[in-house]
Amino acid sequence: MTTRFEGNVALVTGGSRGIGAAIARRLASEGADIVLTYGGSKDKAEAVAEDIRGMGRKAEAVHCDASVRGETAKLVADVVERHGKLDVLVNNSGVYPLTSLSKCSDEIWDQMLAINVTAVFEGMRAAYQVMKPGASIVTIGSIAGDAAQMPGVGVYSSSKAAAELITRAAGREYGRKGIRANVVQPGPIDTDMNPADGQTADMQKMMVPLGRYGEAEEVANAVAFLASDEASFINGTTLKVCGGMTA
């Protein structure tokens, strides 16, 4: 394994499980010190942090309620205060409400926008103030941000479309400061939010040319690439990790 992130400090929101945990472990395996956030899974977050410390890297699990205005911005400032800098920001926190547009409640809509969109915006706005040239931002979107592929995902799709465009816009604006911002759009990934043995799993697999769900580590591979200097001229774009589902 390379040490592309040796000496870097990375913040991974929603890093207690699934894709976020895989990203935190992957960046740490390549040399980064990690701050990962959790909402309600403290034990899982601490377990990920302990794994990372076992790699010889610094790691801390921090509670952050991404649905509360200002919490993500405060988190970014706190990371820099404690660690002296922020080299990589991974916007991974998200909720996945399955509801039709006609039946979506105000509460579900407001929470989803707060976590999937506003927190991404707040984190990137705060990161711009403290990041140095060469730093990188990666937002975890979804191929659902391109199209509502099946009933019940339209509400979620709208939030992921917004998060993608905000991040790509940041790539255009922040690039002048030498800060890159890109999006990773996973397809069906085997996590507790969308398990490979779930009710819609067979239908999703049929839509993937490779005929299977992806693994969280495969998304982490893409994030590590985009956050690294190997992707130094990749900015304001979207990388799909979906097995050809959108081909």
Q: What would the two tokens of residue 191 be?
A: 């996590």
Per-residue exposure over 102-141, b if at least 16 CB sit within 10 Å of its own CB, e if not: eebeeeebeebbbbbbbbbbbbbebbbebbeeebbbbbbb
**Segment holding 22, helix H or strand E:** helix 18-29
CA-closest candidate to residue 232, choices 164, 132, 136, 140: 136
Can 156 be counted among the known catalytic residues?
yes
Distance between CA atoms of 31 and 4, rounded to whole angstroms?
A: 7
Distance between CA atoms of 104 and 113, rounded to whole angstroms?
A: 12
Q: Write the burial class of residue 201 (CB in 10 Å: 0-12 exposed, 13-18 middle, 19+ buried).
A: middle
- Angstrom CA distances, 18 to 1, 159, 239, stand at 21, 20, 19
Among 38, 156, 174, 213, the active-site one is 156
Q: What would the two tokens of residue 84 be?
A: 């002296």
Cα dihedral 117, 64, 234, 131, rounded to 10, equals: 120
Catalytic residue ranges: 156
